[in-house]
C-alpha cells in the first residue's frame, strides 16, 4: 500500500547540495525526507571532485619526481602502477563515503528513500511506494555529462567523468573533447602519468576565463606535452582496430586524430527531466530550473539549488543550501551572490577567479582598474621553483575590490581571501594593511595592493606635505 509522508522538508537529490540541506534542517529537529535514486554523495564524491583530485594528486607526485633533478635530487622517469593508483582513488572515496551514507543521515533523523522522485501535482511527490506531501521541497538533482551531437559517437566506446575512474589500464593516447575545466584537468593529469594527450575544442581553450591568466595555464600544459587543437570542428568519430579516430577540421584544413581512448568533457546537463516538473507548475528548460534570486521556483513550495539551478561548483551548491535552510527555517531574506563564488581549475598551474574579470569590470564601471603582481617577484615562489604565475585584482571606485584572478601554484587556496574581500566590500587599503607571513605566496596579493597606491609616492602634493612635516623635527 502507498504510504503518505508529511515532512516539513522533502529534499530530492543526495549530492552535495541536497545533503547539506538535509543535514542542516535535521540539526534543528526539522522532519526531513531525502530522496536519492543513485549513489549517496552524488557526482562530486563518486565521479567528480574527489576522485579527480586524487588522480591529480598522484600526477603531481609523478611530475615532482621528474623535476627532482632541478633541486639536486637524483631521480628518473616515474614508474606508474595504475592498479595501485586506482586503488588509492577508491580508498579516498571510500573514506569519505560514510559521511554521506544512508546510515549517517538516518542517524541524524532524516528519512532516506532510495527511489526515483516524480511530482504528482503542485504539492506532492511520488517516490517508490510513498507519496510525500511536504511543506517545502528542495530540488538538488545535480547534473550529468553532456554528450555532443557528433556523427558516429554513438557507435564507439567513450569515457566520461562517470566512467573514467573505472578504467583498468593507463591509456596510451587519450583524446579529450572539451577544453574546459574537466577536460584540461584530466588532460594534464594523464599527461603527467605518461599518457599521450590531445585535446580538441570548437572554441578557444578556457574561453570563459580571463585571457591573460588562461594563457599562463595553457602555456604550462603545452610545455608538459599536452597537444591542444582549439577552434576545431569534429566532423565525425569512428572505431578503429586500436581505438578511436576523430575526423576534424580547422582553418588549415581537415585532419584525423587517432587515439586509444576518448574522453567526453563537453560540459554538463542538469538532471531534472524525470521529475515531471510540469505537473508541479515549475518552469524549466534544457539549461535547468528557473529560479529567482532566493532560489525559489515558479511553484512557491519548491526551491532548486546546485546544478539544478544553474550552479557549477560543489561549494556553490553548499552556498545555495545554506541560503535555502535560512529561508525555510527562519523566514530570513536569502539571495544568492554569484560574485563571491570562486571558480577554480585544478591544472598546474592552477587558475582561480572570483567576482568580475578585468573585461567585465571595464564594461560595468567607468573607473575600473586592474593591479597585477607576478609570482617572479615573490620569494616563496622562487625558493619552491614554482614557475610563472600572476595575481590580478580588479577594483572599482576608491579601490573597492570587485574581482580577482590568479594563475599559478596554490591559486585555489589563495582565491578564498579575495572572495572574503568581495563579500565584505573591502578595498585595497584593507589588503595593504594586513600582515602575511614571510615567505608565503600570500604576500603576492599584498604587493599587488601596495602597487595600487605606489603612484602616491610621486605625487607632488604628497611630497610637499612630507617636506612640511619634516620641518617640525
Which residues contact residue 126 at a Cβ distance below 8 angstroms, ignoring those fewer than 6 apart?
A: 117, 118, 119, 120, 132
Give the SS3 label for residue 440. coil
Q: Is residue 1 packed enough to be buried (19+ CB in 10 Å), middle (13-18) or exposed (0-12)?
A: exposed
Cα–Cα–Cα angle for 415, 419, 422, rounded to 5 degrees: 140
- Is 141 among the annotated ligand-binding positions? yes
Is 184 assigned a ligand-binding role in the annotation? yes
**How many C-beta atoms surround the C-beta of residue 94 within 10 A?**
9
Residue 183 assigned to a binding site: yes
Peptide bond into 323 cis (omega under 30): no
Say how far residue 303 (Cα) sits from the centre of its chain.
22
Q: Does 94 belong to an annotated binding site?
A: no
179 is in an annotated binding site: yes
Q: Is 143 annotated as a binding residue?
A: yes
Per the listing, cell 602597487 goes with 451
List the one residue out of 40, 52, 34 whose CA is nearest residue 16. Answer: 40
**Beta carbons within 10 angstroms of residue 420's beta carbon:** 13
d(CA 142, CA 97) in angstroms, rounded, equals 18
473 annotated binding-site participant = no
Q: Is 405 annotated as a binding residue?
A: no
What is the rounded CA–CA span in Å between residue 275 and residue 260? 38
267 is in an annotated binding site: yes
What are the Cα distances from residue 366, in Å, to 216, 362, 363, 379?
28, 6, 7, 35
* Cα atoms found within 13 Å of the Cα of residue 309, Cβ hemisphere only: 29
DSSP-derived 3-state class of residue 35 = strand
Determine whether the annotation assigns residue 29 to a binding site: no
- For the stretch 326-332, contacts whose Cβ atoms lie closer than 8 Å and that sit 24 or more positions apart, written own/partner, are 327/294, 327/295, 327/296, 327/303, 328/8, 328/9, 328/25, 328/136, 328/138, 328/303, 329/25, 329/28, 329/30
The crossing angle, in degrees rounded to 10, of helices 49-67 and 181-192 is 40
End-to-end CA distance of the chain: 93
- Say if residue 185 carries a ligand binding annotation: yes
Does 252 appear as a known binding residue? no
Binding residues for FAD: 53, 141-143, 307
Binding residues: 53, 141-143, 178-185, 267, 307
Annotated binding residues for NAD(+), written as ranges, equal: 178-185, 267
Amino acid at each position: 500500500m502507498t504510504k503518505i509522508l508529511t515532512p516539513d522538508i522533502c529534499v530530492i537529490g543526495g549530492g552535495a547540495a541536497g545533503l547539506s540541506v538535509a543535514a542542516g534542517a535535521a540539526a534543528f529537529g526539522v522532519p526531513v525526507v531525502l530522496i536519492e535514486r543513485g549513489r549517496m554523495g552524488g557526482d562530486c564524491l563518486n565521479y567528480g571532485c574527489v576522485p579527480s583530485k586524487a588522480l591529480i594528486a598522484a600526477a603531481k607526485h609523478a611530475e615532482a619526481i621528474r623535476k627532482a633533478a632541478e633541486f639536486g635530487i637524483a631521480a628518473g622517469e616515474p614508474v606508474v602502477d595504475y592498479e595501485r593508483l586506482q586503488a588509492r582513488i577508491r580508498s579516498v572515496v571510500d573514506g569519505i563515503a560514510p559521511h554521506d551514507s544512508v546510515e549517517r543521515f538516518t542517524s541524524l533523523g532524516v528519512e532516506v528513500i532510495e527511489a526515483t522522485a516524480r511530482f504528482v501535482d503542485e504539492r506532492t511527490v511520488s517516490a517508490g511506494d510513498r507519496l510525500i506531501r511536504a511543506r517545502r521541497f528542495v530540488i538538488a538533482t545535480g547534473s550529468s555529462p553532456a554528450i555532443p551531437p557528433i556523427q558516429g559517437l554513438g557507435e564507439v566506446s567513450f569515457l566520461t567523468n562517470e566512467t573514467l575512474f573505472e578504467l583498468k589500464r593507463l591509456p596510451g593516447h587519450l583524446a579529450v573533447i572539451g577544453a574546459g575545466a574537466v577536460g584540461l584537468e584530466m588532460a594534464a593529469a594523464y599527461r603527467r602519468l605518461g599518457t599521450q594527450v590531445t585535446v580538441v575544442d570548437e572554441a578557444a581553450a578556457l574561453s570563459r576565463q580571463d585571457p591573460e591568466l588562461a594563457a599562463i595555464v595553457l602555456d604550462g600544459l603545452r610545455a608538459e606535452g599536452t597537444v591542444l587543437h582549439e577552434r576545431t570542428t569534429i566532423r565525425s568519430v569512428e572505431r578503429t582496430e586500436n581505438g578511436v579516430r576523430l575526423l576534424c577540421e580547422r582553418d588549415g584544413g581537415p585532419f584525423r586524430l587517432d587515439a586509444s581512448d576518448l574522453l567526453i568533457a563537453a560540459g554538463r546537463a542538469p538532471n531534472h527531466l524525470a521529475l515531471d516538473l510540469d505537473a508541479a507548475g515549475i518552469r524549466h528548460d534544457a539549461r535547468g530550473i528557473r529560479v529567482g534570486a532566493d532560489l525559489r521556483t515558479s511553484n512557491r513550495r519548491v526551491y532548486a539549488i546546485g546544478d539544478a539551478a544553474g550552479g557549477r561548483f560543489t561549494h556553490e551548491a553548499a552556498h545555495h543550501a545554506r541560503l535555502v535552510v535560512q529561508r525555510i527555517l527562519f523566514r530570513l531574506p536569502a539571495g544568492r551572490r554569484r560574485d563571491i563564488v570562486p571558480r577554480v581549475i585544478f591544472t598546474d598551474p592552477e587558475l582561480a577567479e572570483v567576482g568580475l574579470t578585468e573585461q567585465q569590470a571595464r564594461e560595468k564601471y567607468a573607473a575600473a582598474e586592474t593591479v597585477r603582481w607576478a609570482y617572479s617577484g615573490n620569494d616563496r615562489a622562487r625558493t619552491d621553483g614554482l614557475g610563472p604565475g600572476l595575481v590580478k585584482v580588479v577594483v572599482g571606485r576608491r579601490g573597492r575590490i570587485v574581482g580577482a584572478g590568479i594563475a599559478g601554484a596554490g591559486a585555489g587556496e589563495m582565491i578564498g581571501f579575495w572572495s572574503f574581500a568581495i563579500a565584505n566590500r573591502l578595498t585595497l587599503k584593507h589588503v595593504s594593511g594586513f600582515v602575511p607571513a614571510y615567505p608565503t605566496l600570500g604576500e603576492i596579493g599584498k604587493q599587488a595592493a601596495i602597487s595600487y597606491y605606489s603612484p602616491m609616492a610621486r605625487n607632488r602634493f604628497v611630497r610637499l606635505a612630507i617636506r612640511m612635516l619634516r620641518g617640525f623635527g
